[in-house]
Amino acid sequence: MAKHNNNNNGKAQEKDEKKLGITVKKSDNFSEWYTQLCAEQGADLVDTRYGVAGFVVHKPWAFKILRGIYDLLDKEIEEDGHEPLLFPTVIPEENLLKEEEHAGFAPDVFWITHGGNTKLERKLALRPTGETAFYPMYGLWIRSHNDLPFKRFQSRITVFRNEATTRPFLRGREFMFYETHDVFATHKEAMKQIDTDMKIMNEVAYETLKIPFIFFKRPKWDKFLGADDTYASDTIMPDGKRNQCSSTHDLGQNFAKVYDVTFKDKDGKLKYGYQTCFGPGIYRLMAALIAIHGDDNGLILPTAVTPIHIVIIPITFSKKPELTEKVLNKCKQVKELIEKSCFGIKVKLDDEDKSPGYKYNKWELMGVPLRIEIGPREADGDEVTIVNRISREKEKLNLKNIEKELNTHINDFEVMLKKRADEYFKGNTKDADSLEKVKKIIEEHRGFIKVPWCSTEKDGEKCAETLKAETMGGVVSGIKFESPEKPKKDQKCVICGKEAKHIVYVAKSY
């Protein structure tokens, strides 16, 4: 049994306890707040000291959360009829470069040129994404209309891109990835899948993880390389920058024609398939969880992905070992009661030889939803103290009715979390009808700006370049996928002054 010290037992123990905590306010310096929260002094999510820029070590707490996000997506994706598979990490150079537009990924690729001391006959790319790995095989596997729709995905993988700037969970040179790749007989079926992809994101990102977002149709100049159109879900980070949490692409028949993804239809004719691919951003969802839900005391984790729902902290006294033993026994009994009575609730007893105050701070930094405190008084009764991570209010928990009461507390936590996120996101969009107003708002406002725009086809790209230069980084997210807004009569593009055909959303971006 570990020895336990009184929380006011003196300063000797405090010197032995690692300093934890965030030294800046989220509202004052989001960038530094985010860095500290990811580091050892915060929630200990990553270690950036691996020695290769842009490559980080994912620490256990982060990896467990990330696995939880994967689990949520796997469930929805498989229920939608996708089958799992796993492709090699390397892609032959000729496959990567075969689709002319998609070859634009090449400058960001890491290349393998040697096996030991022997130069390879052909270069191999570490995959930047999966299309050019999947589709040559699809050309071999798909034969008939009976094979369609053909829906596959791979999960729990990493991809590699030589990004110029990196940040944990926002940009990395190796980062966690998720991708579905589908083939359909008609374009109508492909577009129906894109609608389904949006619903999956809504279920996972918003309903479960409580991350609010808007689903956009990207402008043509910002679409995925090789796609006809790209649709993306964007949220807003506390510094006002856009965070793209997922993208789904209408690939048309572009890759099918290059990689010979064909099928014999009912009429006996050989036809090209229509393809889509969907990439929920595992990394970006993690970044949004940290940034949107977290506060000045640390992470706040949705119950669906938290590694621990409840931490039990004993209030012990080193000078009274009989009381310490009594409290620890009670803590163990409560832990066993929860494990036996409350299916699916993950509970931990923190009996480490640290002060209660240190433990409160630690588990608040880690974002655990609920905390149970048990001291000498509670050791004799049927009630213990429970603390909500969001409200930090203390209430009594009746052990005789523990299943019902704990479920109520967890539900209350989830309701609070969603309400906080909705309030954060609500009102984050302002209107502007001139470039001067856009520039003023983008400096002061942390959110989207709706503006009249001339065109989202390629001819609107020069206006986008002007916008980016004039606002020091503002980009066009696109048109809302659902219920796109129309410009008012006689509204003009905020950049070129031509007739506005669309209302687009503008923000700075990661």
pLDDT of residue 8: 45
Q: Is residue 139 part of a domain?
A: yes
Strands 241-252 and 502-509 turn out to be parallel
Work out the angle at residue 237's Cα, subtended by the Cα atoms of residues 235 and 239, and round it to the nearest 5 degrees.
145
277: amino acid identity, one letter: C
Where b means 16+ CB within 10 Å and e means fewer, 230-251 reads bbbbbbbbbbbbbbbbbbbbbb
- In this structure, the number of other CB atoms found within 10 A of the CB of residue 195 comes to 13
**Looking at the structure, do residues 388 and 469 belong to the same domain, yes or no?**
no
13, two tokens:
């123990």
Q: Hey, is 144 helix, strand or coil?
A: strand
Beta carbons within 8 Å of 209's beta carbon, 6+ residues apart: 69, 72, 285, 288, 289, 302, 304, 305
Helix (H) or strand (E) run with residue 396 in it: strand 394-398
Q: Which tokens is 96 given?
A: 């990567």
Is 38 a domain residue?
A: no
Whether 278 maps to a domain, the answer reads: yes
Co-location of 288 and 325 in the same domain: no
Question: Which one of 259, 293, 327 terminates a domain?
Answer: 293
| Structural domain that includes position 398 | 310-425
Q: Are both 437 and 480 inside the same structural domain?
A: yes
Pick from 405, 425, 445: which residue ends a domain? 425
Of 249, 264, 293, the position where a domain reaches its end is 293
- Residue pair 428/236 in contact (Cβ under 8 Å)? The answer is yes
Q: Say what the alpha-carbon torsion angle 43, 163, 449, 193 is, to the nearest 10 degrees.
A: -90
Tell whether 280 and 179 lie within a shared domain: yes
Query: Could you tell me the CATH number of the domain that includes residue 237?
Result: 3.30.930.10
Q: What is the pLDDT of residue 12?
A: 45
For residues 242 and 170, state if they share a domain: yes
Positions of the chain with pLDDT lower than 50, given as ranges: 1-3, 6-12, 14-15
Give me the pLDDT at residue 10, please: 44
How many of the other CB atoms lie within 10 Å of CB of 122?
9
Cβ proximity of 209 and 289 under 8 Å:
yes
Pair (433, 503) in one structural domain: yes
Q: What DSSP state is assigned to residue 496?
A: T
Query: Does 223 lie in the same domain as 349?
Result: no
Nearest to 241 by CA among 174, 288, 176: 288
Residue 129 CB neighbours (<10 A)? 21
User: What residues does 272 pair with on adjacent strands?
Assistant: 262
Structure tokens belonging to residue 488? 């008012």
Number of folded domains in the chain?
3
What residues contact residue 100 under an 8 Å CB cut-off, 6+ apart?
none
Q: What is the dihedral of CA 91, 94, 99, 101, to 10 degrees?
A: 90
Position 31 in a domain: no
pLDDT in tens, 457-489: 999 999 999 999 999 999 999 999 988 999 999
Are residues 421 and 435 part of one domain?
Answer: no
Sign of torsion, CA 232 233 237 241? Answer: positive
Separation CA 104–CA 465 (nearest Å): 19
| Assigned domain for 401 exists | yes
132/151 same-domain check:
yes
For residues 184 and 149, give the distance between their C-alpha atoms in angstroms, rounded to a whole number: 5
- Calculate helix-pair angle for 60-79, 187-201, nearest 10 degrees: 140
Using the CB atoms, write b or e for 288-313: b if 16+ within 10 Å.
Answer: bbbbbbbbebbbbbbbebbbbbbbbb
Burial environment of residue 100 by CB neighbours within 10 A (0 to 12, 13 to 18, 19 or more): exposed
Q: Are residues 72 and 220 in the same domain?
A: yes
Cα 273 to Cα 142, 249, 254, distances in angstroms:
9, 14, 9
Q: Are residues 321 and 389 in the same domain?
A: yes
pLDDT digits (tens, 9 = 90+) for 374-385: 999 999 999 999
- Omega of the bond prior to 376 within 30 degrees of 0, cis? no
Give Cα 97 to chain centroid, integer Å.
30
Domain with 500 in it: what CATH number? 3.30.110.30
463, β-bridge pairs:
none
Asked if residue 110 is part of any domain, the answer here is no
Do 179 and 265 belong together in one domain?
Answer: yes
Q: Is residue 359 part of a domain?
A: yes
DSSP-derived 3-state class of residue 201 = helix
Is 46 part of a structural domain of the chain?
A: no
Task: Show the beta-strand stretches assigned E in 224-369.
Answer: 229-236, 241-252, 262-264, 270-272, 274-280, 310-314, 347-349
- In terms of C-beta density within 10 A (0-12 exposed, 13-18 middle, 19 or more buried), how is residue 193 classed? buried
Q: How far is Cα of residue 402 from the mean position of the Cα atoms in its chain?
A: 33
* pLDDT given for residue 62 in this prediction: 98
